């Protein structure tokens, strides 16, 4: 929460910017190129190893996500880290029920055609195989100490930025991820006992790739296709 809001202050409080690092142009180009190369290795996977992951790694990656910018600095996100096999099993059963309905009833032929190159279906064994599931919730509003509502601004945009930073941090740490978005996802509120002011944003599957892991042969759009310079 914004510290000024919590303290009931009407005037902003500023401090000197001390931690910004500036690099030479040569260093900037090298760092940008190196990071691009690292991120080009990132792939979403669907075959996970059962190998455990140090919890400290997950915690630091979540701390990274928590540094994301947000509307009015209200930080409208909550992360639920699931490693309990029984809870993962319940999530898998609920997710697969929604996915069966999606593939058999809800999805249009056009949507199914778009998914076909990825080889996806209603079976989600990785929800139990991977050592961690991170359920990401967006808080539609916050709660003040007296129980009254605190409006959140640009909540979905803020949580989207934090989620991108989390995925990047996990990849940088040497882990693989999968973004999973069964629709609807309200079952996550019930299983994970989250309050009514929170809505599921995304379920992130986290772990090491299985030895037999395979990924589809896909390409990304070029810079020219995704960018306009004026």
Q: Which H or E run contains 157?
A: helix 155-172
Residue 8 pLDDT: 53
Q: Cα–Cα distance between 218 and 220 in angstroms, integer?
A: 7
How many angstroms separate the CA atoms of 10 and 15, rounded?
17
Summarize pLDDT for 55-109 with one digit per residue, the tens: 999 999 999 999 999 999 999 999 999 999 999 999 999 999 999 998 999 989 9
**What DSSP assignment string belongs to 158-173?**
HHHHHHHHHHHHHHHT
Say what the pLDDT of residue 93 is. Answer: 97
Per-residue pLDDT tens over the stretch 124-136? 999 999 999 999 9
> 25 in a domain, yes or no?
no
Contact 182, 101 (CB under 8 A): no
- Mean pLDDT to the nearest integer, 155-180: 98
CATH of the domain at 140: 3.40.109.10
Please answer whether residues 182 and 135 qualify as being in contact, where contact means their C-beta atoms are separated by less than 8 angstroms. no
Structural domain tally of the chain? 1
Residue 74 within any structural domain of the chain: yes
- How far is residue 224's CA from residue 153's CA, in Å, rounded to a whole number? 32
Neighbours of 195 (CB within 10 A): 10
What is the domain extent for residue 95?
A: 45-209
Q: At residue 220, does pLDDT exceed 70?
A: yes
Residue 70 placed within a domain: yes
- When mean pLDDT is compared across 26-30, 117-121, 156-160, the lowest value belongs to 117-121
Residue 1 has pLDDT above 70, yes or no: no
Residue 6 has pLDDT above 70, yes or no: no
The whole-angstrom separation of Cα 199 and Cα 202 is 9
Number of H helices, E strands in the chain: 9, 6
The stretch 147-155 carries a mean pLDDT of: 95
pLDDT category of residue 123 using cuts at 50, 70 and 90: very high
Q: Is 223 part of any domain?
A: no
Compute the average pLDDT of residues 173-195. 95
């Amino acid at each position: 929460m914004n510290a000024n809001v919590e303290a009931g202050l009407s005037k902003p409080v500023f401090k000197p910017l001390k931690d910004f690092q500036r690099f030479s142009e040569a260093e900037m180009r090298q760092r940008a190129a190196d990071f691009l190369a690292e991120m080009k290795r990132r792939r979403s996977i669907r075959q996970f190893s059962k190998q455990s992951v140090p919890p400290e790694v997950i915690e630091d990656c979540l701390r990274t996500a928590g540094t994301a910018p947000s509307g009015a600095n209200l930080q409208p996100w909550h992360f639920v880290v699931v490693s309990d096999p029984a809870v993962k099993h319940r999530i898998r059963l609920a997710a697969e029920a929604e996915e069966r309905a999606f593939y058999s009833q809800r999805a249009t032929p056009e949507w199914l055609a778009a998914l076909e190159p990825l080889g996806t279906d209603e079976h989600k064994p990785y929800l139990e195989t991977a050592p961690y599931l991170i359920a990401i919730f967006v808080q539609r509003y916050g709660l003040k100490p007296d129980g009254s509502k605190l409006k959140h601004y640009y909540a979905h945009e803020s949580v989207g930025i934090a989620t991108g930073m989390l995925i990047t941090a996990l990849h940088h740490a040497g882990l693989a991820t999968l973004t999973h978005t069964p629709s609807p996802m309200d079952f996550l509120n019930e299983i994970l006992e989250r309050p009514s002011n929170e809505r599921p944003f995304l379920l992130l599957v986290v772990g090491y790739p299985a030895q037999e892991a395979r990924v589809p042969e896909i390409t990304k759009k070029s810079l020219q296709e995704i960018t306009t310079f004026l």
